[in-house]
Amino acid sequence: MKYFATLAGRPRKVAVAVLAAALLLAGAAVPVYAQGPTPLPRGLAVVERILSRLYEREQAWLGLQTNHLARAAQAADKAQQLLDAAKEKGRDVTALEQALAAFRAGVAQAQAAHDQAASILGTHTGFDASGQVTDRQAARQTVVRARQSLAEAHRILLRAVRDLRRAVRDWRRSQRPQAPAASS
């Protein structure tokens, strides 16, 4: 400082300019992470994007499956109408009754798994309200567990629908009058 104070005139101006330039350069050299959040390595950013996307897809799946479950309930009502009409005509509806009871039980089971998925997605652990990842590990758990419940509901519902359809077809076949054997 003593040396700096002894400078006067042009040399002093030069020294001030050099010092200012040095300070500016030092400021520019400060790493970016010191001024904001650490940017994620590329791989982790990709993982977070995938997790967000999966979360979004599962919510869409949940909405679709809600609709499927409502349609399954309507199908159960139709089956009940068929059963009542067939009973009025004095037909044997035992097989139909059993099939409808199994269908209703299947739909209830699927609904329970579906509700579980809805609860997991509604809690959205590891995601913020807008679906962005806040905790990778927790987000991954959310996505995996929701998928398991959604898939379980889907599997049970599909099996129930197939079984009822087959049972109704078999029952209809059994109700048709047998054609007389062709005589040769």
Partner 1 sequence: MKGRIWLLAALPVVLALTASCSRGRPAAPAAPNRPPASATVVGPDRSEALADDLDKALGELEGNLNGVDTIEDLEQALGGS
Minimum Å distance from CB 104 to partner 1? 14
Of 86, 95, 102, 138, the residue at the interface with partner 1 (CB under 8 A) is 86
- How far is residue 69 from each of residues 12, 21, 56, 122, 123, measured CA to CA in Å? 84, 71, 20, 19, 22
Among 52, 79, 114, 117, binds partner 1 (CB under 8 A): 79
Q: Which residues pair with 133 in a beta bridge?
A: 127
The per-residue b/e assignment along 109-146, b for 16 or more CB within 10 angstroms, e otherwise, is: bbbebbebbbebbeebebbeeeeebeeeeebbebbebb
CA proximity to 129, closest of 52, 44, 65: 52
Judged by CB under 8 A, which stretch of 1-9, 15-23, 88-96, 122-130 contacts partner 1?
88-96
Does residue 106 belong to the site contacting partner 1 (CB under 8 A)? no
**How far apart are CB 174 and partner 1 at their closest, in Å?**
12
Task: Enumerate binding residues for partner 1 (CB under 8 A).
Answer: 47, 50-51, 53-54, 57-58, 60-61, 64-65, 68, 71-72, 74-75, 78-79, 81-82, 85-86, 88-89, 91, 140, 143-144, 147, 150-151, 154, 157-158, 161-162, 164-165, 168-169, 172
